[in-house]
Structures are given as structure tokens and as C-alpha cells.
Structure 1
Amino acid sequence: MSSIDIRHIVFDIGKVLIHYDPNLPYSRIIPDEAEREWFFANVCTHDWNIEQDRGRSWEEAEALLIKDFPEREEQIRAFRKYWQEMVPHAYVETVSLLERLIAEGRDVTMLTNFASDTFREAQVLYPFLTLPRGVTVSGDVKLIKPDIAIYETHTRTFDLDPSATLFIDDSIPNVEAARLAGWHAVHFVDPEKLKADLAGYGIHP
């Protein structure tokens, strides 16, 4: 058993608790795979989308792209319009771990890169997202992982002891940033590895 006393557990959401894949609606909107890859590489890119996670409005985001790609307006607007199709299911085993940790009385919060409005939709789609003590949403605080400032904001907001905090995220840069913020952190790959990682800290939900 680990000698480290973990008193706070912080979950990421996308690809840890719920699935996320923009290709799901776009395989219908842009059936040609090569064209779809071009679209994500040049129009609705990851860097464009992350700015909505940082707090930029969808209206501004769409206008920026439509100015440069007017012929793609319908496809650009489809990103927000069909967002719910991108999050089709939860990861049942990980959610079960989350629920058991909460049922045990452990202090569980969430830290996520998410646009403000789509996160509220996600909470309606997946009510378990309302179970933890609270959440820091990047779109609300205008900061995104792996910026150390968002971890510090979460620490202050929820009065965490960094040395007693364990973070779970599917992104290695986000995990490394959490460690730089003084937290313990594990890289999420699948529920079985997470169980083993938790057990390494003496946590057996």
C-alpha cells in the first residue's frame, strides 16, 4: 500500500468518462474520408475547437471560419449543431468507479477542457456528471489544460491539498502538467489500468 494519503480525486471527462469523436456526425456530413481528413486538418481543426474550450463563443468561432471558407458554411455550423452525436456513450466501467468512490465518501471533483454550453448539455445527457462535489470547466474560467493556471484555479476553488490530490486524464501532457502543479496524476488508458493505478495509492473502490 502507498504511504501517500490521497484525500482528493480529480477526474477528466472526455475519453475518461464519456466518449468523444467528431468523426461520428461528420462521416455522414462529409462521407469522403480524404475530404473529411482535409476538413479537420484545415477548417474545423483541433486548435480552432480548443478556443471554444477556452471560452470563445460558437458564434465568433463559426464567423471566423465562414469568412475564410464561405462554401463550407453548412459543414462548419454542423460542428456545434451535431455536437451531441460526438458524445454517444459513457464509459460504464469508469463511471462505476467514479460512483463507487463518491459512495465511499471520497472527495471527487472534475477538471475538464469543455465549452461552457456543451458541458451543460453533457450534464443533461449524462446525469452522473452532477455527482462529484464540483467541476472546473475550462470554458468558464477561460483557461485550458495543460496550462498550470487551471490546476491552480481548481486547487483554490475546491480547497485541495495538492500533495494529497490524484488526477486522472487521458492526455499525457495534462498528466505531466498536473504533476508540475504538485498533484499526483495517472494516465488513463482503460478502466483496468485505472483500478491498478488507484490500488497503487491504496484506493480500492
Structure 2
Amino acid sequence: MPIEAVIFDIGNVLIEWQPERYYDRTIGPDRRRAMFAEVDLHGMNDLVDQGHHFTDTIYAWAEKHSAWRDEIRAWHDSWIELAAPEIPHSVRLMRALRAKGVPVFALTNFGVQNFDYACTVYPFLTEFDRAYVSGRMRMVKPHAPIYAAVEADCGLAPDRLLFADDRIDNIDTARVRGWQVHHFTGPQGWAARLVAEGLLTEGEAA
């Protein structure tokens, strides 16, 4: 079926999201492994993605795990260093699609306050035709309700949507709902898929 809208995840599709890399650099791999073993930092971040306040959630987590207070607060205070850098080829693909008149949406697990902050650092995050941000919606991938909400809001049939995400569980839910999907492992493969779908030429996808 012809594609009527392309949907991008953001983390590890448009912006690298590797918190462990930040901590390896700042406190060293051994201390980072110890902290991540003791503190469920990704669980903390999941709360932010669900709509809990960015600052309040992380600072409360830091107080609960006071032995790691400064390191946990860095998840907030140095957050943009965790969410970096952008993936330039993916950004070019997003813009090339929009230049061709293809609607481009975001579907991302992202908090409210840190998404707004990210938009000031990465202006391309303001360029989507529709941005479905989990913190605003108070529902997250890979659970079905957020996909249903996207379908209801955009009004397009599931098989007319092409969705790229780096996580298989997020892709699997979309596939079950009838979306066309692409498991993102790098921008070159995503570019090739967009060319194969007839959405971009090879030159436009370079």
C-alpha cells in the first residue's frame, strides 16, 4: 500500500541516546557499571517519559539514592550531553521527505520538559507535521494505546504509515497493528528503505 506518512522515533534515530557513554566518560566504566547495577536509572527515565516532571523526578531519585546523588542529578543537569549528538543523515532524510510533501510525524518516548529543552538545542525537532510525545500523551511505547492515539489523531489507515524505530518491541507493536515498519540500525538502511518505497530518490536520500 502507498505510504501516506512517515513516522520517526527520535532517540537513536535522530539523536543518539546513550547515557552509559556519558557516565563512562565522566565517572569511568567501573563506577558507571556499579551505579547502574544499584540504581534503576532507566526506570527513573521511564517515569519522565510517562509524563512525570523531569526535574522533580530525577532530583527525588537522587535523594533516594544519596550515595550517587551528584551522579544521578547529572542525568538532569547535563542531560543534553546524554542526548547527543544528532544523527545528521537522519535529519537530512526527515527534511528531504518534508520537502517532497510527505507528512512526517514523530512518535517518541520523551518527557515534557526535556523535549521542550531539546527543541531549543535541536531545531529540527520543531519541524514535524505532528509530534506524538509520550510525556504529553501520558502513554508510552511499546504499549498499544499510544499507537491507537496516533491513528485516531492523524486519521490515516495503519497500513499507510511507515514507522522507523531502533527498538524491536516498539516495532513489533506497530507491526501487529498493521503499520509498515523499519527496524532502524543506521541511517543508510533507513535511506535505502525510503528509496525502495519510492518516497525519495537516491540523490535525495544521500
1:105 aligned counterpart, secondary structure: coil
Task: Write out per-residue CA displacement over residues 94-126 of structure 1, whole angstroms, 9 at most, x where no aligned residue.
Answer: 111110000000111110001111111111111
Q: 2 CA distance for matches of 1:160 and 1:65?
A: 43
Q: CA deviation at 1:8?
A: 1.0
- What does residue 59 of structure 2 align with? 62
1:72 aligned counterpart, secondary structure: helix
- What does residue 8 of structure 2 align with? 11
What code does the residue aligned with 2:148 have?
Answer: E
Q: CA deviation at 1:41?
A: 2.6
- What does residue 152 of structure 2 align with? 156
Q: CA deviation at 1:146?
A: 0.4
Q: Give aligned-pair identity as a percent.
A: 34
- What does residue 26 of structure 1 align with? 23
1:203 aligned counterpart, secondary structure: coil
- What does residue 131 of structure 1 align with? 127
What code does the residue aligned with 1:72 have?
Answer: W
- What does residue 74 of structure 2 align with? 78
What code does the residue aligned with 1:192 have?
Answer: Q
Q: CA deviation at 1:65?
A: 4.8
- What does residue 114 of structure 1 align with? 110
Q: Does the Cα contact within 8 Å between 1:25 and 1:82 map onto a contact in 2? A: no
What code does the residue aligned with 1:175 have?
Answer: I
What code does the residue aligned with 1:22 have?
Answer: P
Q: CA deviation at 1:203?
A: 2.2
Report the number of matched residues. 200
- What does residue 43 of structure 2 align with? 47
Gaps of 5+ in 1: none
Gaps of 5+ in 2: none
Deviates more, 1:120-129 or 1:55-64: 55-64
Task: Write out per-residue CA displacement over residues 114-147 of structure 1, whole angstroms, 9 at most, x where no aligned residue.
Answer: 1111111111111111111120111111111101
Q: Does the Cα contact within 8 Å between 2:35 and 2:68 map onto a contact in 1? A: no
The reply on whether 1:35 has 2:31 as its aligned counterpart is yes
TM-score by length of 1: 0.90
